[in-house]
Structure 1
C-alpha cells in the first residue's frame, strides 16, 4: 500500500513538472523545435531601446519577433523572424516604434505591395529608426529645437 502511494505521488509530481515546463516555454515565448517563420534582415542607424525578442507587428497584429541585433559596419543589423504565412515585399518599410510615451519598443512592418516577395536572408531596404526621447528632451531643454 505504501509503495502504491509513493508511486502515485511520483507520477503526480512528474505531471506537474511537465505542465510547469510547458507553461514556462509558452509564456516565455521560447521555441524549442523552431517555428514556422523565416528570417529577413533590416539595417538601422540606431536601434536604441529595441531588444531581442521584441514583437513585430503589421496593422497592430503580431506577426513575428526580433531574433537578434548586432553591430555591422557601424550600423545596427536586426534579424527579424516573420511568421511563414506573412508575405513581406521588397518595398516593405521596417520602423521602430514605442508603445505609449515611455513604453516598450517594437518593430512595425509596412509589408509593401510590389510583386517581389522577400526570401529568407533578404534585407529590407527602407527603415526608420525610433525617436530617441532622451535626445528630444535634451534638445528642448537646451533650446536646440527647430
Structure 2
C-alpha cells in the first residue's frame, strides 16, 4: 500500500511538471493559444514574390503584426494577404501597404505607411492602397538586355 502512494505522488509530480513546461513553451513561444490580441485586415497585391506566412508587419520600423495567410484570388488573379494587426494599433482607411525587403537580399515583410484619414479600417476590413514586391532579377534583366 505504501508503494502505491509513492508511485502516485511521483506520477502526479511528473504530470504537473510536464503541464508547467507545456504552458511555458506556449507562452514564451508567442503561440497565442490563450488569448488573441490582434485583429485581421486584408490587403490585395499583384505580386507577393518572396513573402511568407508569419512575416512581420511594420509601421515606421516597429513590428505591429504578422502575415496570417497568403492565397490567390482565382477571379482577379491577385494575391490576397491576411494580416494580423496588434490591438491598439489603428489603421487609417487611406494607409498604404507595401512589400519590402530587409536589406538587399533579406526576408520580405509588409510595411504599412499611415494615412491621414480620421476613418479607421474595421477588423476584417481591407487596405485599399498597396504596392507589390519589386523583383530585383527583373529590374537587372531590363537594364542589361534592354537596348
Distance, in Å, in 2 between the alignment partners of 1:134 and 1:19 is 49
Distance, in Å, in 1 between the alignment partners of 2:30 and 2:86 is 14
Q: Deviations over 1:14-60 (max 9, x none)?
A: 23322332344345442324512221111101111111211211122
Q: TM-score, normalised by structure 2?
A: 0.82
Structure 1 runs (4+) deviating above 4 angstroms are: 137-140
Change (3 A) 1:34 1:132: farther
Change (3 A) 1:16 1:98: farther
Alpha-carbon RMSD across the aligned residues, in angstroms, is: 2.4
Distance, in Å, in 2 between the alignment partners of 1:62 and 1:3 is 53
For this pair of structures, how many residues does the alignment match? Answer: 144
Q: Could you say what secondary structure the match of 2:124 adopts? A: coil
Give the structure with higher Rg (CA).
2
Choose 7-16 or 68-77, whichever is displaced more.
7-16
Q: TM-score, normalised by structure 1?
A: 0.82
